[in-house]
Structure 1
């Protein structure tokens, strides 16, 4: 089996963006599944998180801002452990101008289990970028959160049909 990494996308957030209220109920459903995956992961866990335009931020400042936001109950269960790898991004894709591709090469990872938010945005764009880099992509559909459910369903279908992504549940993911 190819070497796998569990990727957690944009889950450390204060939920203060314009679409946050539409995202919250979906995130509340996804957080337990993401937590279960992290708990049973015997593979590298890598958080790739938006820096919210703050170029002086770091893991701790991003977490502190998020835990002080309006949905601390969604952030606290997913707090990255000190030894967990944490990469900041500025745009939608986890690969766009980040060191992730280099890190995956160093770890000899070719299979990515992608969790997080937003299914129809960052997860979709990241899955495409992973696919064009010849990574195997797995999306646990209960471990991703969306703003627009109909677009999320379309995104999952596109990832499966166009990118060969495996769509399954978190409990069915082989790590």
Structure 2
């Protein structure tokens, strides 16, 4: 399922939200051909392994998995072209996390997954009021997406083991901002389960 090119935010944003979470996988369909990629790829691979395990838990709960991926300047791209481009580079991150047929796929033109995309419309349609953010880079696209989600009053979990940056310092800096300023939970997936995270949160009204 692809919802990658809609730009309009509608009254759907005000729809009632259920106690349900979605897993967002941010920018992991990636060629790693940019400056600094050699530093980002190893921690991104570690994050990919943790994401793969987390998505299995999310799927068992019946929660949706949504890929939120940059268009990398290819304005005519759609899901299959972006995935094929990443897979052609034979990088282990894309191979490990290749989207499945029933995953949602949002294409974004900028850092935030909410900016000029269908994500603000899709989430209420799915009855989602909580978001688990994963992917790269923790201090750029994950951080900007978290900020926009926080402004829309989504509960956030950004597990420290499912995000990556070019350095641990930048990753920890971003996690600190998300925790202190956005109320995000940042416990790793081996310390907190999706069910336990959800049980800590107030029920959606």
TM class by smaller structure: over 0.9
| Structure whose CA Rg is larger | 2
Shift of 1:43: 0.4
Residue of 19, 25, 34 corresponding to 2:51: 34
TM-score of the superposed pair, with normalisation by structure 1: 0.95
Superposition map of 1:1-175 within 5 A:
2-41=19-58, 42-69=62-89, 72-171=91-190, 172-174=192-194
Taking the aligned partners of 2:104 and 2:111, their CA distance within structure 1 comes to 19
Give the secondary-structure state (helix, strand or coil) at the position aligned to 2:55.
helix
Shift of 1:148: 2.8
Alpha carbon RMSD of aligned pairs, Å?
Answer: 1.3
Deviations 1:137-156 (A, max 9, x none): 10010000111321211110
Q: Per residue, is there more helix in 1 or in 2?
A: 1
Whether contact under 8 Å (1:34, 1:170) holds in the other structure is no
Whether contact under 8 Å (2:22, 2:131) holds in the other structure is yes
Taking the aligned partners of 2:92 and 2:127, their CA distance within structure 1 comes to 34
How many residues get paired? Answer: 174
Taking the aligned partners of 1:57 and 1:154, their CA distance within structure 2 comes to 33
TM-score of the superposed pair, with normalisation by structure 2: 0.82
Whether contact under 8 Å (1:120, 1:155) holds in the other structure is yes
Taking the aligned partners of 1:30 and 1:67, their CA distance within structure 2 comes to 18
